[in-house]
A and B are shown apart, each in its own frame.
Chain A
Amino acid sequence: MLKSTSTIAALMMSATPLLASAQVIDVKITNLTQGIYFTPILATAHSPEYSLFQAGQMASPELQAMAEGGDISGLVAIADSIGASSRANPAEGLLAPASYTMVSDWDTGDNSTLTVVAMLLPTNDGFVGLNSWTIPEQAGTYTVYLNGYDAGTEANDEIVNGGGMPGAPGIPANPAGNGGMGATGVIAEEVNSMIHIHPGNVGDSDPEGGISDLDSRIHRWLNPVAKLTVTVK
Chain B
Amino acid sequence: MKTYLFSSLAVASALALTACGGSSNNSSTSQGAGMTTVYEYQITVENLTAGQPFSPLAVVLHGSDQMLWQIGEPASDGIELMAESGDNSMLLSAVSGLPATAGTGIIMPGSSEMVMISTEDMSLMRLSATTMLVNTNDAFAGINAVDLSGLAANESMSWYLNTYDAGTEFNSETAESIPGPAGGGEGFSAIRDDVMNKISRHSGLVTQADDSMSALAPWHRFDSMVGKVTVTRMN
Contact = CB atoms under 8 A, between A and B. Distances in A.
Interface of A: 7-8, 11-12, 14-17, 55-56, 133-134, 143-145, 147-148, 150, 152, 156, 186-187, 191-194, 196-200, 202-204, 211, 216, 221-223
Contacts of A223: 223-225
Contacts of A194: 109-111
The listed residue with most A CB atoms (<10 A of its CB), out of B16, B19, B228, is B16
Contacts, number: 112
Nearest to A14: B154
Contact of A133 (B9, B20, B158, B232): B9
Contacts of B220: 199
A15 B112 contact: no
A11 B223 contact: no
Nearest to B217: A187
Interface string B181-224: 00000000000000000000000000101100000011111111
Interface stretch (B47-55, B60-68, B72-80, B87-95): B47-55
Contacts of A16: 16, 19-20
Interface of B: 7-9, 12-13, 16-17, 19-20, 46-51, 109-112, 152, 154-156, 158, 207, 209-210, 217-226, 228, 230, 232
Nearest to B20: A15
A202 B207 CA distance: 10
A187 B219 contact: yes
16 contacts: A8-B158, A8-B230, A8-B232, A11-B155, A56-B48, A144-B9, A147-B225, A156-B218, A187-B219, A192-B50, A196-B48, A197-B50, A197-B224, A200-B221, A216-B209, A222-B223
Contact of A192 (B109, B158, B209, B224): B109
B109 A198 contact: no
A152 B218 contact: no
A55 B228 contact: yes
Given A15-B16, A55-B46, A144-B9, A196 B110 contact: yes
A191 B158 contact: no
Contact of B48 (A11, A17, A197): A197
Given A7-B232, A192-B51, A204-B209, A15 B155 contact: yes
Contacts of B152: 15
